[in-house]
């Protein structure tokens, strides 16, 4: 099985997509699947950290009317024996980090379209060179989404390709890769008549994700609730009709997290390790976080943490709206995130307004992220929509109680303590409204401050949640079997 993604933890991470690509293949390998990963060899890939072995060179890739050539490197996925192929092509894949644009949803530059169309095309060219044809190509999101489309085109002439089944996992419908259809036709050397669904255009642009949805043999998304939500206008991001056409081939499988990486018992990013049975170290982590953030070193003040991309989806505007009211409470607030310049500015602004209570670090920092997961008491994820969400799963694992909105994977993983004190592992609010969010937050703060026993029990319930990939990997295996039958 050939697993393709734009991001891969720890080699090239931007968000949760990287975590999935770094963990699901490992879990599949444990189930006996011959899984191999392909990603572009971006400029940011650190060759000192990941030993790259050249496995093929001068592999020919037809693109934009020319014969391009790529070199293929291989490295094991850290912590496993899953091979990762890195496709090296200076012009299309080698520059910069993963994405050229912050927000690829609204239609991007041709450069991004070329990068990922080239990635898809070249990924399909390497099988001969590595002497291995997969039975299944499993594509993640729109970046790899042109693969099923190109495979359909190639299959018409080449038997090696016609045997390969395709599966698409949708991690986030908002990012679709809207690009000039002509750029893509030119890149692939086809016209729109060569492939019927390429005629789905809007003002001369096509959504790479929509093409993938229409062309893949099987589809899934990353939580059962999101799989339902995206069939509606509210959550469908304009693709609800295409998705409805594929409804019988679309299911939701909840993501897991890599429980070896995200483990408070062994995590080397945090000052003191702890576990469900010996939780004392969590207060050291809290003291450490207060010190790092220049906050009052008081173990009794609850810390509200956030680690997030700063994107419209994530409910950052709700945080901004409650800042003044929050500052009146006996709490501390710690945020780590990067993304939209406007949201970055808003978060920096509230931290400057209340420097004793609020701290905002605008950067990507994997180590600080772990310190926040471990050192906070409460984790905020008031998302407008959330396909699965990993932040709430990581925070559960670190005994940090999530407050989430009832959407997508947040709804599928977090049970509200107020309505179900037995099984509750967090707090859930329904409406995307400031008042609803703040009321829920206040009730959580009240419980923390006034009922330490109940809070400790809540931590235990949270840490008992199994966020591993074990169950999900079995479900994926079922889908692969279905594809092959």
Nearest distance from residue 378's CB to ligand ADP, in Å?
A: 16
Partnered with residue 251 across adjacent β-strands are 220
CB-CB neighbours of 106 under 10 Å:
10
Collapsing DSSP to helix, strand or coil, 285 comes out as: helix
- If the CB atoms of residues 214 and 381 are measured against ligand ADP, the closer one turns out to be 381
DSSP class of 403: E
- If the CB atoms of residues 9 and 210 are measured against ligand ADP, the closer one turns out to be 9
Q: Give residue 157's Cα distance to chain centre.
A: 35
Q: Pick the closest to residue 366 from 232, 274, 243, 258 (CA basis).
A: 258
Partnered with residue 170 across adjacent β-strands are 221
Give kind and range of the element (H or E) at residue 130. helix 110-130
Measured CA to CA, the distance from residue 140 to residue 138 in angstroms comes to 7
- If the CB atoms of residues 210 and 383 are measured against ligand ADP, the closer one turns out to be 383
What tokens does 12 get?
């090239």
What tokens does 472 get?
């999900």
- If the CB atoms of residues 15 and 256 are measured against ligand ADP, the closer one turns out to be 15
User: Which residues lie closer than 8 Å to 380 by C-beta, 6 or more apart?
Assistant: 304, 305, 306, 315, 319, 402, 403, 441
Give the largest CA-CA distance in the chain.
Answer: 70
Nearest distance from residue 112's CB to ligand ADP, in Å?
A: 18
Query: Using CB atoms, what's the residue nearest to ligand ADP?
Result: 16
Measured CA to CA, the distance from residue 221 to residue 227 in angstroms comes to 6
- If the CB atoms of residues 230 and 301 are measured against ligand ADP, the closer one turns out to be 230
Nearest distance from residue 127's CB to ligand ADP, in Å?
A: 29
Residue numbers at the binding site for ligand ADP (CB under 6 A): 15-17, 19, 307-309, 336-338, 364-366, 369, 388-391, 394
- If the CB atoms of residues 29 and 371 are measured against ligand ADP, the closer one turns out to be 371
Q: Pick the closest to residue 149 from 112, 126, 103, 116 (CA basis).
A: 116
Nearest distance from residue 484's CB to ligand ADP, in Å?
A: 29
Nearest distance from residue 313's CB to ligand ADP, in Å?
A: 7
Nearest distance from residue 71's CB to ligand ADP, in Å?
A: 30
Nearest distance from residue 363's CB to ligand ADP, in Å?
A: 6
User: Which residues lie closer than 8 Å to 184 by C-beta, 6 or more apart?
Assistant: 113, 117, 146, 198, 206, 208
Do 366 and 339 contact (CB within 8 A), yes or no? no
What tokens does 205 get?
């642009």
- If the CB atoms of residues 21 and 136 are measured against ligand ADP, the closer one turns out to be 21
- If the CB atoms of residues 164 and 336 are measured against ligand ADP, the closer one turns out to be 336
Nearest distance from residue 288's CB to ligand ADP, in Å?
A: 17
- If the CB atoms of residues 337 and 424 are measured against ligand ADP, the closer one turns out to be 337
Collapsing DSSP to helix, strand or coil, 467 comes out as: coil
Nearest distance from residue 314's CB to ligand ADP, in Å?
A: 7
Measured CA to CA, the distance from residue 272 to residue 367 in angstroms comes to 14
């Amino acid at each position: 099985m050939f697993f393709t993604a734009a991001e891969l933890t720890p080699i090239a991470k931007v968000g949760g997509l990287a975590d999935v690509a770094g963990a699901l293949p490992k879990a599949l390998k444990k189930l006996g699947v011959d899984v191999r990963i392909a990603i572009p060899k971006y400029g940011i890939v650190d060759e000192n950290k990941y030993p790259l072995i050249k496995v093929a060179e001068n592999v020919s890739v037809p693109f934009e009317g020319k014969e391009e050539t790529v070199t293929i490197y291989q490295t094991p996925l850290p912590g496993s024996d899953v091979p990762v192929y890195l496709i090296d092509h200076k012009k299309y894949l080698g520059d910069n980090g993963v994405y050229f644009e912050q927000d690829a949803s609204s239609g991007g530059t041709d450069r991004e379209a070329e990068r990922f169309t080239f990635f898809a095309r070249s990924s399909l060219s390497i099988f001969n060179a590595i002497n291995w044809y997969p039975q299944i190509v499993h594509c993640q999101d729109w970046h790899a989404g042109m693969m099923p489309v190109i495979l359909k085109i190639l299959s018409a002439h080449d038997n090696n390709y016609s045997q390969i089944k395709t599966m698409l996992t949708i991690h986030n419908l908002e990012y679709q890769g809207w690009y000039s259809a002509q750029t893509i036709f030119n890149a692939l050397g086809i016209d729109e008549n060569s492939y019927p669904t390429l005629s789905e255009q809007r003002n001369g642009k096509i959504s790479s994700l929509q093409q993938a949805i229409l062309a893949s043999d099987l589809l899934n998304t990353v939580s059962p609730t999101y799989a339902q939500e995206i069939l509606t206008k509210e959550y469908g991001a304009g693709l609800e009709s295409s998705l409805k056409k594929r409804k019988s081939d679309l299911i939701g499988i909840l993501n897991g997290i890599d429980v070896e990486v995200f483990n408070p018992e062994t995590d080397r990013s945090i000052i003191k390790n702890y576990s469900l049975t010996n939780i004392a170290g969590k207060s050291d982590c809290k003291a450490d976080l207060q010190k790092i953030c220049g906050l009052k070193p008081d173990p009794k003040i609850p810390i509200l943490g956030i680690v997030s991309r700063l994107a419209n989806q994530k409910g950052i505007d709700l945080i901004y709206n409650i800042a003044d009211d929050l500052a009146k409470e006996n709490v501390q607030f710690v945020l780590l995130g990067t993304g939209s310049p406007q949201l970055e500015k808003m978060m920096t602004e509230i931290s400057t307004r209340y420097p004793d209570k609020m701290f905002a670090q605008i950067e990507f920092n994997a180590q600080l992220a772990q310190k926040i997961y471990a050192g906070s008491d409460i984790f905020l994820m008031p998302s407008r929509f959330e396909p699965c969400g990993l932040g709430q799963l990581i925070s559960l694992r670190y005994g940090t109680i999530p407050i989430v909105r009832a959407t997508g994977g947040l709804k599928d993983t977090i049970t509200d303590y107020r309505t179900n004190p037995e099984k509750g592992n967090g707090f859930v609010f329904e409406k995307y409204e400031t008042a609803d969010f703040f009321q829920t937050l206040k009730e959580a703060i009240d419980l923390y401050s006034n009922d330490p026993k109940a809070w400790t029990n809540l931590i235990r319930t949270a840490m008992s949640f199994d966020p591993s990939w074990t169950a999900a990997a079995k479900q994926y295996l079922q889908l692969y079997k279905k594809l092959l039958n």
